[in-house]
Amino acid sequence: MLNNYLYAFISVMVVSLVSLIGVFSLAIKEDVLKKYINFFISLAIGALLGDAFIHIIPEAYKSNLSSNKVGILIIVGIILFFIIEKFIHWHHHGEDKEESHIHPVGKLVLFTDGFHNMIDGIIIGASFLISPHVGIATTLAVILHEIPQEIGDFAVLIHSGYTKKRALWLNFISALASVLGLVIVFIFGSTVENSILWFVPIAAGGFIYIAVADLIPELHKTKELKHSIIQLGIIMLGVLAMVALLFIE
């Protein structure tokens, strides 16, 4: 059993390191990165919506929750993240000058991603309590699932006003929430996985809110037909990436 705990911890750390995929952007000049940021935002929209509707919500329906409860919890998630963003906006004007240029959606993405990573940590930990083989399979699925999402999250942080290095660091800190999820499993055992199922649809609602309320309006600022078509294509690419994962997991 001790080995399972060690394997689970190593797996969670590997998953957390996936958040550093944005390190490749450090070689790209800031002005070049911002010039094409809307294309990465498009990928984030596709990944968030694809993740919510293709992976998270179907998993919620497979649980012991009724379909009505899942639907209600998704709405609760949307409203909850609306309230959180309102709260961030209220405090946004009172911040110091160094932080005042940061768009609230960046902080919302960090909060949502941290919440989602904590759930991933719980799922990985519970899987290793079953067996190392199940745990490794789950870890691989989470890694494949995280790559397109982390690229999108990093792009949103850059778009929100963070520097590349700070965005990279904050994304990694957010990813470490999976360690907290693992600790929860170590303390309470695999039974916690049944309780966390209530929070899975809420996370889906958060992803939907960010994609629809915050990111899609940003793309509407682009008026050129050519760029709009490219953005639509990249959104579909993000969705298709999530569909492709169904054949790998």
Written as one letter, the residue type at 104 is P
Res 60: pLDDT: 84
Q: For residue 61, give the 3-state DSSP assignment.
A: helix
Minimal CA–CA distance to 150: which of 14, 19, 13, 23? 19
Pairwise CA distance, residues 76 & 50, whole Å: 19
109 with 200: CB under 8 angstroms?
A: no
Contact partners, residue 223, CB within 8 Å, separation at least 6: none
Q: What is the tens place of the pLDDT at every residue in 56-110?
A: 888 888 878 899 999 999 999 899 888 887 877 665 555 555 555 677 788 888 8
- In degrees, rounded to 5, the angle at the alpha carbon of residue 156 between the alpha carbons of residues 151 and 161 is 130
Say what the pTM is. Answer: 0.70
Residue 248's pLDDT is what? 66
Q: What are 201's two structure tokens? A: 């649809």
Tens-place pLDDT, residues 193-203: 667 778 778 88
Detail the DSSP E strand segments found in the chain.
none
Give the model's pLDDT for residue 95. 52
C-alpha torsion angle, residues 95, 100, 104, 109 (rounded to 10): -100
115 in Cβ contact with 174 (< 8 Å): no
Say if residues 129 and 185 touch (Cβ distance below 8 Å). Answer: yes
How big is the chain by its Cα radius of gyration, in Å?
Answer: 18
Q: How do the residues of the chain divide into helix, strand and coil, expressed in percent and rounded to 5?
A: 85, 0, 15
Q: What is the mean pLDDT of the chain?
A: 80
Per-residue pLDDT at 157: 85
pLDDT at 249: 58
> How many residues appear in the chain?
249
The pLDDT of residue 234 is 92
The CA-based angle 137-244-239, given to 5 degrees, is: 120
Determine the pLDDT at residue 104.
77
pLDDT at residue 140, rounded to an integer: 76
Residue 23: per-residue pLDDT: 66
| Residues lower than pLDDT 50 in the chain | none
Instruction: Domain ranges for the chain, please list them.
Output: 2-17+30-247
